[in-house]
Amino acid sequence: MRRFLRPGHDPVRERLKRDLFQFNKTVEHGFPHQPSALGYSPFLRLMAIGTRSGAVKLYGAPGVEFMGLHEENNTVMQIHFIPDQCQLVTLLDDNSLHLWSLRQHSGASELREEHRFTLKGPPGSPPSATQVTAVLAHSSRAVLYLGTESGSVFVVELPSFRVLEDRTITSEAVLQRVPEDSCNRRSCELVEALREHPKNPNQILIGYSRGLIVLWDLQNSRATHHFLGSQQLENLYWQRDGSKFISCHYDGSYTQWPVSSDNRQPDPLENLVPYGPFPCKAISKIYWQTTKNGLPYIIFQGGMPRASYGDRHSITVIHGSQQTAFDFTSRVIDFFIIFSSEPTAESDDPSAMVVLAEEELVVIDLQAAGWPAVPPPYLASLHCSAITCSHHVSNIPLKLWERIIGAGSKQNTRSSSMAWPIDGGTNVAPDPPQRDLLLTGHEDGTVRFWDASGVCLHLLYKLSTVRVFLTDADPNDNMNTLGEDEWPPLRKVGTFDPYSDDPRLGIQKIYLCKYSGYLAVAGTAGQVLVMELNDEDAEHVVDHAEADLLQDQEGYRWKGHEKLKTRDGPVRFEAGFQPFVLIQCQPPAVVTSLALHSEWKLVAFGTSHGFGLFDHQQKRLVFVKCTLHPSDQLALEGPLSRVKSLKKSLRQSFRRIRRSRVSSRKRRGVGGNASEVQEANAKFDQDTLQEMELAPVQRKIEARSAEDSFTGFVRTLYFADTFLRDSSRHCPSLWAGTNGGTVYAFCLRVPPAERRMDEAVRAEQAKEIQLMHRAPVVGILVLDGRGTPLPEPLEVAHDLSKSPDMQGSHQLLVVSEEQFKVFTLPKVSSKLKLKLTALEGCRVRKVTVANFGSCKSEDYSENDLAVLTNLGDIQIISLPFLKLQIRYPCIRKEDVSGIASCVFTKYGQGFYLISPSEFERFSLSTKWLVEPRCVVGVPEATSNNHLHNKPGTENAARRS
């Protein structure tokens, strides 16, 4: 029979499929994995981030983003925007230079690679001769100056990348023009910095690694000034008027130098070791910004006392008597200052500092008192604590949306109210069709609520469950409690904190009812919290209930972790979701499934031992059911206990490493190239991996049996109002599916609303189905008389769904990892099935019902199953006939964590982690497609030859 129902070649259906389904990876949310370079264009007001995998990402105003990928997949070392152009140049660690352009194409801008170039020296010269160490994009927009390891500065024409050999500034030429007594041959090795004079484009400052700094006149090819630093040079920065510049050094000092026509070899004005007198770490980058009131800002990276604070990732801002060393949670990759780039302005007047750290982006408002952080609208650090689960809720009612935003804004009182300072480009994408929430559960016991409606995934509200429990987390571990007179004046900034003190707090399952605002959250130590949204902060007692899932079984001993200790007495909760009841599973094994029915006020939860039903209205446990096979010793003992302790010790050792690690100095050149070493390591890992793949790995072929371990593991829970016992009366029911292929169905009696508090909810087991193939049950669904999945609780009450058809006979769809099966109800007989594993060798990892609308006709839509397999393929399977519609490769099958993290939306989109910190968003639908679409205007080219040009005024007006 099924053979005839297989996807045939019905042309009408094939056409409809084209109108319904389409696969696109649309946008990457979150923070780029392993960023390696940062660039900023004050002209375009765009920021560029390069990564170790060769990606370059541009960000402007919220919604304005572009991504490019270097074919080589090499680490991006430097990014430089061409002044006054929609162009940028990237330098990779293979010493290649790449020119990228933003070009408008059918109403939207696109980032494209235009040219690539590798500097070649004369035949026979060592590779160091042309190893690029410094890049200067000259304000003439016609040339790039490339400083090299050999000390020569090459001049390359743009956009052709033609080397202008006659204009090369060799170290020999420089030496000839510098008095011999002040330096030797080696002084001109390795160009550390190239800086164009802010007022005179014909002069550039060349800083050599050993401390010699030369002001070079491009027209006359001669050194007008030279400056003899005694310390190894790190970086240079011009003061705005070009009368002074500042250099920073390896020993943690910085030096101000005067530039005047009367002294060709001036002495430093001032030489300071800000965190001396003990040996300090290098200052790797420095800014000197003038202000209207005369007090300059000096901002530098590093320079901490080597012995006591050498492991800090700091940037110090000094403004008059104010001095703060911002202490970042991870290594600082690079930073830039946003300041007034109007050429007519007399001072810089910096407004914001943008810092790219390895794990997050931090923006500091330099104008507001206390220099607060500006919450970024994008580039969120999803992994500030490791993501343990995610849950997507589509089409949030406006009321709930506003309440969540309200709760979130109360949490952010200390952040700056500054408008997002990086605001180039225009977002021309249509407004998101609906309000979507993505909830991520984290290892530290928090749930983060993200606005996932559009291109910018940003944090709305953060919920912490920690308050309910007593943990050994040190409450004095607050980084901001340093007193006034502490030195250095460190201030912790950023949210990245991957080290959870108690892994039992980890969130494993989340269920939010968008109509009632009820939220259920379950964690690693068998804790289930039911919460309600409260717009005010409140102090109340959280009710406790225990659910002994082993009930009748005796003589078992749980060897896993203990349950979390709870706080006695009332607990103060901030506005937002506030827990009112805690159900503790016993044994406290990780909660593996969770379902909430807000209309019946019931919450169901399952672990590897069984499942239970809790009435959160009466705060009473309705029943528990043990699903454990008596011989399943592994599940009983909590097999993860050993793994956990290993994980803990690993975490501790990581911490030790983190404390003791000397921040790796930015180093260039072939010899000490850290990233090259890492790359080599990665390559080695890859090779060994490949070898391992070739080695004869064996796989055991054995049928599943009832005695297998973890058969009782509850994989899925489902509430349905359906015909469980007879075909004339429907009743509330709870369905549970286990790892061993068993489906339990319980008939529930929920008292009517008026007697809801007086009568007890009752449950009775009505059915137990054992799938003979014994594969884990990953999804249970009831289809109504029309073959449509039953609506969510309260969906009908809110007029957002048709009432289900209770006339025709209902059907039960059971999805196991291997098969899809439809059974009739109430008498269970098998009706249809689709075998997946037996035929294709892939297994179901994720399954959801998704609604697909046609892009051609407004009123046509249908429900299908969106399925992700263990091979990373996505399949769409029709309902109720279980016909395979289409298949798309989506995730690499080796990317196990990507596959495990995938979450589908109700309208055919989805998210999965491409790195610990980034979600890839994809769409299966032709209709619901959220992707960036933006324009970066090309303001009329000015003939202004200043390095920092005025921004397009229209750009400035386009703040969102």
Partner 1 sequence: EFRRFSLERSKPGKFEEFYGLLQHVHKIPNVDVLVGYTDIHGDLLPINNDDNYHKAVSTANPLLRIFIQRKEDADYSAFGTDTMTRKKNVLSNVLRPDNHKKKPHIVISMPQDFRPVSSIIDVDILPETHRRVRLYKYGTDKPLGFYIRDGSSVRVTPHGLEKVPGIFISRLVPGGLAQSTGLLAVNDEVLEVNGIEVSGKSLDQVTDMMIANSRNLIITVRPANQRNNVVRNSRTSGSSGQSTESSLPSSTPNILANSLQGEEESDEEDIIIEDSGEPQQIPKAAATSESLESLTQIELLHESTQNGFLPSSEMNLNHSAGSVSMEYEVQDPDHKSLEEDGTIITL
Which stretches of the chain bind partner 1, using CB under 8 A?
A: 1, 693-694, 696-704, 725, 765-773, 775, 818-819, 821, 823-824, 828-831, 835, 837-843, 870-871, 893
Asked if 316 contacts 493 with a C-beta cutoff of 8 angstroms, the reply is no
The per-residue DSSP string of 397-440 comes to: -HHHHHHHHHHHHHHTTTS--PPPS---SEE-SPPPSS--EEEE
Among the listed residues 128, 111, 487, 74, the one whose alpha carbon sits nearest the alpha carbon of residue 280: 487
Query: In whole angstroms, what is the distance from residue 911 CA to residue 916 CA?
Result: 13
CA 751, CA 60: separation in Å to the nearest integer?
Answer: 55
In the bound complex, what is the minimum distance in angstroms from residue 708's beta carbon to partner 1? Answer: 11
Least distance between partner 1 and beta carbon 883 (Å): 17
Task: Give me the least distance between CB of 60 and partner 1, in Å please.
Answer: 43
**Is 565 or 892 the residue whose CB approaches partner 1 more closely?**
892
For partner 1, the closer of residues 573 and 611 by Cβ is 611
Lateral strand order in the sheet of 297-302: 283-289, 297-302, 313-319, 322-328, 490-493
Query: Token digits for 849?
Result: 């019902």
Cβ distance to partner 1 smaller for residue 434 or 770: 770
Provide, rounded to whole angstroms, the least separation between the CB of residue 666 and partner 1: 42
Least distance from partner 1 to the Cβ atom of residue 777, Å = 11
Helix (H, G, I), strand (E, B) or coil at 849: strand
Q: Read off the tokens for 911.
A: 């998210």
Q: How far is the CB of 702 from partner 1 (least distance, A)?
A: 6
Q: Which is nearer to partner 1, 90 or 811 (CB)?
A: 811
Q: Is the dihedral of CA 188, 191, 192, 197 positive or negative?
A: positive
* C-alpha span between 561 and 564 (Å, rounded): 9
Residue 781 near residue 791 (C-beta atoms within 8 A): no
Phi (first) and psi of residue 307, to 5 degrees: -75, -45
Smallest separation (angstroms) from partner 1 to the CB of 768: 4
In a 13 Å sphere around the CA of 864, the CA atoms on its Cβ side amount to: 25
Nearest distance, CB of residue 137 and partner 1, angstroms: 48
In contact, 866 and 847? CB cutoff 8 Å: yes
- Name the residue type at position 80: H
Give 180: exposed, middle or buried? Use CB within 10 Å, 0-12, 13-18, 19+.
exposed
Of 187 and 869, CB closest to partner 1: 869
How many residues are present in the chain? 960
Q: To the nearest whole angstrom, how small is the minimum distance from the Cβ of residue 874 to partner 1?
A: 17
Instruction: Determine contact, residues 533/400, Cβ cutoff 8 Å.
Output: yes
Q: Closer CB to partner 1, residue 818 or residue 864?
A: 818
Joined together, the tokens standing for residue 949 give 């040009």
Of residues 3 and 414, the one with the C-beta less far from partner 1: 3
Looking at residue 103, the DSSP 8-state letter turns out to be E
Nearer to partner 1, 843 or 933 (CB): 843
Least separation in angstroms between residue 766's CB and partner 1 is 6
d(CA 452, CA 20): 22
CB of 916 to partner 1, least distance (A): 24
In whole angstroms, the minimum distance from the beta carbon of 552 to partner 1 comes to 14
- Could you tell me the smallest distance in angstroms from the CB atom of residue 733 to partner 1? 13
Whose Cβ is closer to partner 1: residue 840's or residue 862's?
840
> Which CB sits closer to partner 1, 9 or 699?
699
Indicate the residue among 16 and 832 with the shorter CB distance to partner 1.
Answer: 832
Token pair for 436: 């979507």
Distance from C-alpha of 338 to C-alpha of 297, rounded to nearest angstrom? 12
Angstrom distance (rounded) from CA 188 to CA 209: 8
Helix (H, G, I), strand (E, B) or coil at 135: strand
Beta carbons of 397 and 436 less than 8 angstroms apart: no
Closest to partner 1 by CB, 221 or 765: 765
Three-state SS at 776:
coil
From 478, 52, 51, 489, select the one nearest 312 (Cα to Cα).
489
Residue placing its CB nearer to partner 1 in the complex, 262 or 693: 693
Q: Could you tell me which of 760, 880, 756, 747 has the C-alpha nearest to residue 823?
A: 880
In the complex, the smallest distance separating the C-beta of residue 809 from partner 1, rounded to whole angstroms, is 10
> Minimal distance in Å, beta carbon 234 to partner 1?
50
- Residue number with CB closer to partner 1 (173 or 828): 828
Nearest approach in angstroms of CB 51 to partner 1 is 29
Angle at 177 between CA 171 and CA 181, to 5 degrees: 95
613 with 602: CB under 8 angstroms? Answer: yes
Nearest to 227 by CA among 268, 179, 284, 288: 268
**Amino acid letter at 601?**
K
Give the three-class secondary structure for 872.
Answer: coil
**Interatomic CA distance for residues 92 and 96, integer angstroms:** 5
Nearest approach, Cβ of residue 718 and partner 1 (Å): 17
Cα radius of gyration rounded to whole Å, the chain:
32
Residue linked to tokens 């102090």: 539
- Cβ distance to partner 1 smaller for residue 346 or 768: 768
Distance CA 863, CA 851 (A): 5
Which residues pair with residue 391 across a beta bridge? 439
Q: Residue 685 or residue 768: which is nearer to partner 1 going by CB?
A: 768
Determine contact, residues 161/175, Cβ cutoff 8 Å: no
Q: Which is nearer to partner 1, 369 or 697 (CB)?
A: 697
Burial (CB count within 10 angstroms: exposed 0-12, middle 13-18, buried 19+), residue 141: middle
Q: Report the nearest approach of partner 1 to the CB of residue 826 (Å).
A: 9
Pick the closer one to partner 1 by CB: 18 or 833. 833
